[in-house]
């Protein structure tokens, strides 16, 4: 019997002894007169037990079936041992027809020592930035190196892979995700070319100034020139690039990376995904649609601010998303690029002079193009380095084939200048 129940019993005894009336008893216990009457009858019949609630010691009518609990414990230990409570609850419900609340699953996992309750950490506080109003107004972009395949098929995919991820700021939706081996120029360009073809161009892209970890990561190939190339490509497309000085500044995509590391790794394990190609199909067809359906938020305004690209602009993406480097034409009309020599043909779409500066374009399909004044020059690759640079006695390469024709002797060009300067006669010669 609790103190509260003991106090009630003593008060009801005084009521039965007529030391107090029902109104005084009700006021003393904070109950209504009707409740006092019921307690009085119970105490008369059962004594002190009359003040104890009738359901005490009985099993709840809403209790969970023991077989269901036992089954849930079995799956938690055998399959979902490293899942968090929410993810485990979803899979027990969807895959095993066990419908328990997240809190019940959490208590079961704690009792089985599969989940450690965590205290709230006193992390450094950062100001919360309000979401953008419209879908497509800003995309947060990041790459996350992680052991996504948990060591499966390591000989082919390596120990760590890079997940490139774009998250819409207004809705919190992952708009595109793709696995690559690294976060270099070519993978990032492939990612955004595909994004723009499917969705159009967002108004802005929010990304970090690439950290030392990413630049010096063992998988990194050309990260050091990524920002220069990416900035140039986005300037051509009219997309604003916003640089975050800390990971917390673009917290939505950083948080999404953490969520994917907890969820996607387990989902791919259950689906037996072992290659990058399989993982990218799984991301696009299954994981992201399901994730967005469950977690995406409704933006403040319904507009989609992506700028759709017409056919001409889509065709131009091949040139925009190429790795571009400046080179100078040698005296023998060759261009050296990455230890290869390219000989320019005699016939060109525009006039080409020695020492002209050209743009070498490395396209995503591996092709090389040489651009000068918005024209692609004709060339062939030399099998080996020229033994000695020869100065060709051509002033320029032109669009017309040089002619051997010479004007005849009576041609106006060969005549003396008609308006030859006449000598000035002095006055003494008159």
Q: What is the DSSP string of 87-106?
A: HHHHHHHHHH-----HHHHH
Given the DSSP bridges, would you call strands 174-180 and 161-168 parallel, antiparallel or unpaired? antiparallel
How do the residues of the chain divide into helix, strand and coil, expressed in percent and rounded to 5?
Answer: 40, 15, 40
* 418, two tokens: 């008609």
Residue 213 has what pLDDT? 36
Average of per-residue pLDDT across 147-174: 92
Tell me if 75 sits within 8 A of 87, measured CB to CB.
no
The band of 214, judged by pLDDT with boundaries at 50, 70 and 90, is: very low
Please check the confidence at residue 390 and state whether its pLDDT lies above 60.
no
Q: How far apart are CA 424 and CA 389, in angstroms?
A: 54
Q: Which residues contact 196 (CB under 8 A, 6 or more apart)?
A: 237, 309, 314, 317
Q: Is the pLDDT of residue 418 over 60?
A: no
Determine the pLDDT at residue 254: 85
Give mean pLDDT, residues 393-419.
66
Say whether pLDDT at 217 is over 60. no
Q: Which two tokens stand for residue 170?
A: 């207004």
Q: What is the pLDDT of residues 25-62, one digit of tens each?
A: 999 999 999 999 999 999 888 888 888 888 887 877 78
- Integer Cα distance of 321 and 213 in angstroms: 25
pLDDT (tens digit per residue) in 246-279: 666 567 788 899 999 999 999 999 999 999 999 9
Q: For residue 165, what are the CA distances in angstroms to 149, 277, 333, 362?
A: 17, 16, 43, 24
> Residue 106: what pLDDT?
94
Per-chain mean pLDDT for the chain:
86
* The predicted structure's pLDDT at residue 208: 77
Cα separation of 315 and 288, whole Å? 28
Q: Read off the pLDDT band of 305 (50, 70, 90).
A: very high
In whole angstroms, what separates CA 188 from the centre of its chain? 11
pLDDT digits (tens, 9 = 90+) for 307-350: 999 999 999 999 999 999 999 999 999 999 999 999 999 899 99
Task: List residues bridging with 369 in a β-sheet.
Answer: 361
Q: Which has the higher per-residue pLDDT, 64 or 223?
A: 64
Q: Express as a percent the part of the chain with pLDDT over 90.
A: 60
For the stretch 141-156, pLDDT in tens is: 999 999 999 999 898 8
Whose structure tokens read 């009576």? 410
Among the listed residues 172, 235, 246, the one whose alpha carbon sits nearest the alpha carbon of residue 207: 246
Tokens of 384: 């080996």
Rounded to 5 degrees, φ, ψ at 177 are -145, 140
Confidence at residue 68, expressed as pLDDT on a 0 to 100 scale: 93
- Annotate 334-379 with DSSP letters as a single string: EEEETTEEEEEPSB-SS-EETT-EEEEEE-TTS-EEEEETTEEPPE
| Contact indicator for 378, 344 with CB cutoff of 8 Å | yes
Long-range Cβ contacts of 116-122 (<8 Å, 24+ apart):
none
pLDDT of 172: 92
Please check the confidence at residue 382 and state whether its pLDDT lies above 90.
yes
Share of the chain above pLDDT 70, in %: 84
407 — alpha (psi -120 to 50), left (phi > 0) or beta?
Answer: beta
Q: What angle do CA 135, 138, 140 make, to 5 degrees?
A: 115
Q: Return the structure tokens found at 274.
A: 């072992």
Integer Cα distance of 111 and 85 in angstroms:
12
Under the banding of pLDDT at 50, 70 and 90, the label for residue 69 is very high
For residue range 79-136, list pLDDT tens digits in order: 999 999 999 999 999 999 999 999 999 999 999 999 998 776 656 565 667 889 999 9
Residue 213 exposed, middle or buried by CB count within 10 Å (0-12, 13-18, 19+): exposed
Beta strands 139-146; 204-208: pairing state? parallel
Contact 372, 351 (CB under 8 A): no
């Amino acid at each position: 019997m609790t103190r509260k129940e003991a106090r009630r019993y003593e008060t009801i005894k005084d009521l039965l002894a007529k030391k107090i009336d029902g109104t005084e008893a009700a006021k003393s216990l904070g109950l209504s007169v009707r409740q006092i009457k019921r307690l009085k009858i119970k105490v008369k019949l059962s004594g002190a037990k009359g003040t104890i609630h009738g359901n005490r010691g009985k099993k709840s009518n809403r209790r969970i079936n023991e077989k269901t609990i036992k089954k849930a414990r079995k799956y938690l230990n055998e399959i979902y041992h490293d899942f968090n409570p929410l993810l485990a609850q979803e899979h027990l419900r969807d895959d095993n027809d066990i419908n328990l609340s997240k809190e019940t699953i959490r208590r079961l996992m704690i009792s089985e020592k599969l989940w450690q309750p965590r205290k709230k950490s006193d992390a450094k506080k950062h100001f919360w930035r309000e979401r953008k109003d419209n879908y497509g107004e800003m995309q947060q972009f990041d790459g996350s190196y992680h052991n996504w395949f948990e060591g499966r098929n390591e000989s082919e995919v390596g120990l760590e892979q890079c997940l490139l991820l774009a998250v819409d700021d207004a809705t919190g939706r992952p708009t595109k995700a793709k696995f690559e081996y690294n976060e270099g120029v070519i993978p990032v360009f492939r990612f955004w070319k595909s994004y723009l073809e499917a969705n159009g161009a967002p108004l802005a892209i929010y990304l970090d100034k690439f950290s030392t970890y990413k630049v010096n990561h063992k998988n990194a190939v050309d990260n050091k020139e990524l920002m220069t190339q990416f900035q140039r490509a986005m300037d051509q497309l009219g997309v604003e690039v916003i640089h975050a000085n800390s990971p917390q500044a673009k917290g939505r995509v950083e948080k999404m990376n953490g969520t994917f590391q907890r969820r996607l790794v387990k989902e791919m394990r259950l689906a037996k995904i072992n290659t990058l190609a399989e993982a990218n199909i799984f991301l696009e067809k299954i994981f992201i649609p399901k994730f967005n359906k469950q977690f995406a938020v409704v933006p403040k305004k319904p507009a989609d601010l992506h700028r759709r690209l017409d056919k001409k602009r889509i065709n131009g993406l091949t040139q925009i998303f190429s790795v571009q480097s400046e080179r100078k034409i040698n005296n023998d009309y060759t261009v050296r690029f990455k230890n290869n020599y390219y000989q320019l043909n005699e016939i060109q779409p525009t006039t080409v002079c020695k020492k002209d500066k050209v743009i070498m374009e490395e396209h995503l399909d591996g092709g090389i193009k040489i651009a000068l004044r918005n024209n692609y020059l004709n060339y062939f690759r030399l099998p080996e380095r020229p033994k000695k640079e020869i100065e060709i006695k051509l002033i320029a390469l032109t669009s017309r084939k040089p002619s051997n024709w010479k004007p005849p002797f009576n041609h106006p060009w060969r005549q003396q200048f008609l308006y030859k300067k006449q000598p000035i006669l002095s006055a003494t010669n008159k």
